[in-house]
Structure 1
């Protein structure tokens, strides 16, 4: 089988697709990756790469084709739109060229925002006569509206038409959450929608990785709560800061924010203006360092805004947190909170409710270490049952084989 993966984001940027490609390669599938020049999340092209260059790399046996792209910058909506559209145009113009001598059986789109990156994959499907699989990670156009990025109803209506067209051209639509099925079915044929969840990179199940030196000073002293990942609008970071303010007179509780994003500067300013010594900006770290960071937390925090779209969403960090076997505090509504409850892996509280979040942190900190260990073990068992990476990769390849066998009959 010859597989092409379309993803605007790829290694050395930290995304789930990196580990999935490695797992697919381990099953003796030939993989080409079409991606942009790495610039997430800081918004500047990484050292050693050039924004306007077509380049080729090797990633564990996969050929990575890097296309010209406008870096996303920091905080500029215009730059972000140019970033999205430049990958679409580069993909349409250059992907058929870099893959011109290659047979392609299946094209897989890793459809985190923007789903527009599926457009050049559709063009490649037409040219190569391949099957197109879209793995939906974010609901569009709902996520544009929920994050406040687009509010104009005519633009949202136009995006909805484009998304409907994208789904119509897919042979199979995989959704990361069972709650995604109905919203996607409103724009696509339900018969070609299938639930396919995220797993977690293998490194998060490695006990050896967790014993490495922790790069963040003070983590593990007192009661440490760690939030890891994007610090953006969707994550309702204001709720974390407001909860921290309610807890600032309790000396042993510390909240570590590990990552970067569009709200990082706002957080730094809020910490300074409110005099919050209990919130520590842990910075951005490579994925290899994350198990050592997460394993030293007494609790792992996941947050989302209180928007209807996010009731359907399972943040990919939920699977990572379950795999790490640490208690989870889920400040969110809907599917993500349901999973934490079903796994009995921690405490959930309503999204964007700082008082409830502060109470949840206090409640978990008052538990015995044995009680917290039990919650962590429950989460790890739930991960092994529902999100085991090897099982899921085998399932994904069987989806591909089924598509190819249908077309051969």
Structure 2
């Protein structure tokens, strides 16, 4: 198949899509990508992409075109400019593409407008669009504190409804997304299929934590933003000062990193270690040092609908998981029997769950359970086989022998 991919974020930004696109190339497909000028997550254009540099490049077989993007910085006005500069420039580019693609795939996170170019090309050329929905809009805005009665929220609610009804197929990362799309935006339920994320990193040879070490190392890895509610982790660390063996590691960066570093200093939490963002190839080394992994989310009811990709990655690494979240995450952890989940934004409850973990006589079994659940539900091959079938079904009769699979 000849596939056009649309997504605002891509390599070298810390984002999982490259592994997916490169695997499609390895499977014999042609992949062209329309994406942004890299500036995520810190909101500053990467130096090597400034002044119009590297607007077209090929990376591991994927042909990349980068369209005009205003860096998001850490400012509401610039974030809005970032959203619409890419949506507008990518749509303009897509409308004038003469290439004949078999199908369009859009990987949708925030904002939903990032998918606009997919629909612009599809309308012009009579092609079908498969959307991979990883975030819900405008629910993300409500989670950020924007009231549902505000004019801005109502505008994006209308915009989201319009955009979510354009794909021919919507693949969702969390089962809970289905009701929101159908009830809030009137999306045809028959268009929707569940396809959870997989772990892009490979952990088949991940060594266990060093035996005989004196510390118990708990680790969060990923974007450090408001939705992740990492203040809950710091507050739990403060409540567990009586456990001097605990070390809390935060690997990643984002809009909340400076605030968290300041908070840790104010609370004199020497047990909290900030490692910053690390390249994907280094992450297995960090996972190897961890006794358990952390995942936290805000108590927002819409954020609770999500199943962050880090959960699958933690499971692939064969690590116990300690969480503070509602919705999909506690259901998955309970089914996998691989850890404990506290109430969202409840540091005291998270501290109690950490105490339960410390008292667990067979922590290694929790890790084995996590890996087993990953292999049963979240493997890369399972994901790619299903995605390939979905794309083929929308590409037309010459490619649809693989069928369309709803799971």
Between the aligned partners of 2:396 and 2:36, the Cα distance in structure 1 is 32
| TM-score normalized by the length of structure 1 | 0.92
Matches within 5 A, 1:3-402: 3-50=3-50, 52=52, 55-73=55-73, 75-97=74-96, 99-100=97-98, 102-148=99-145, 153-186=150-183, 187=185, 188-201=187-200, 203-207=201-205, 210=206, 222-368=215-361, 371-402=362-393
Question: Is 1:331–1:351's contact at 8 Å kept on the other side of the alignment?
Answer: yes
Q: Structure 1 residue 399: deviation in Å?
A: 1.0
Is the 8 Å Cα contact of residues 148 and 154 (structure 2) preserved in structure 1? no
Q: Which runs of 4+ in 1 moved over 6 A?
A: 406-409
Q: Give me the whole-angstrom Cα distance separating, in 2, the residues matched to 1:408 and 1:338.
A: 37
Contact 1:51 1:68 in 2 (8 A): no
Cα drift, residue 205 of structure 1: 2.7
Contact 1:180 1:313 in 2 (8 A): yes
Q: Secondary structure at the match of 2:5?
A: strand
Describe the SS at the equivalent of 2:263: helix
SS at match of 2:47: coil
SS for the counterpart of 1:308 is coil
Distance of aligned partners of 1:341 and 1:161 in 2 relative to their CA distance in 1, 3 Å threshold: same
CA distance in 2 between partners of 1:152 and 1:280 (Å): 40
Distance 1:211 1:325, change over 3 A: closer
My pick for the range that moved more, 154-163 or 136-145, is 154-163
Shift of 1:228: 0.6
2:223–2:252 CA contact under 8 A, matched in 1: yes
Secondary structure, counterpart of 1:32 in structure 2: strand
| Equivalent pair of 1:52/1:69 in contact (CA under 8 Å) | no
- Please give the secondary structure, in 1, of the residue aligned with 2:176: helix
- Note the residue ranges of structure 1 that are not aligned, 5 or more in a row: 215-219
- Count of residue pairs brought into register by the alignment: 396
**Partner Cα distance (1:204, 1:81) in 2:** 36
In structure 2, the residue matched to 1:217 is: none
Alignment correspondent of 2:404: none
The answer to whether the 8 Å contact 1:54/1:68 transfers is no
Contact 1:54-1:67 within 8 A present in 2 as well: no
| Superposed displacement of residue 149, structure 1 | 5.0
Q: Secondary structure at the match of 2:107?
A: strand
Alpha-carbon distance, 1:66 to partner? 1.1
Please, what is the CA RMSD of the aligned residues?
A: 2.1
Shift of residue 174, structure 1, vs aligned partner: 0.9
Give me the whole-angstrom Cα distance separating, in 2, the residues matched to 1:365 and 1:67.
50
Relative to structure 1, the CA distance from residue 280 to residue 112 in structure 2 (aligned partners, 3 Å threshold; closer, same or farther) is same
Alpha-carbon shift at residue 249 of structure 1 (Å): 3.4
SS at structure 1 position matched to 2:56 = strand
Equivalent pair of 1:185/1:193 in contact (CA under 8 Å): no
SS in 2 for 1:390: helix
Q: SS at 1:266's partner residue?
A: helix
Q: Spell out, residue by residue over 1:150-200, the C-alpha distance to the aligned partner (whole angstroms, 9 max, x if none).
A: 665322222121111112211111111111111011211111111111011
Distance apart, 1:250 and its partner CA: 2.1
CA, structure 1 residues 12+149, in 2 after alignment: closer, same or farther (shift >3 Å)? farther
SS in 2 for 1:49: helix
Distance 1:149 1:279, change over 3 A: farther
Structure 1 CA distance, aligned partners of 2:192 and 2:395?
17
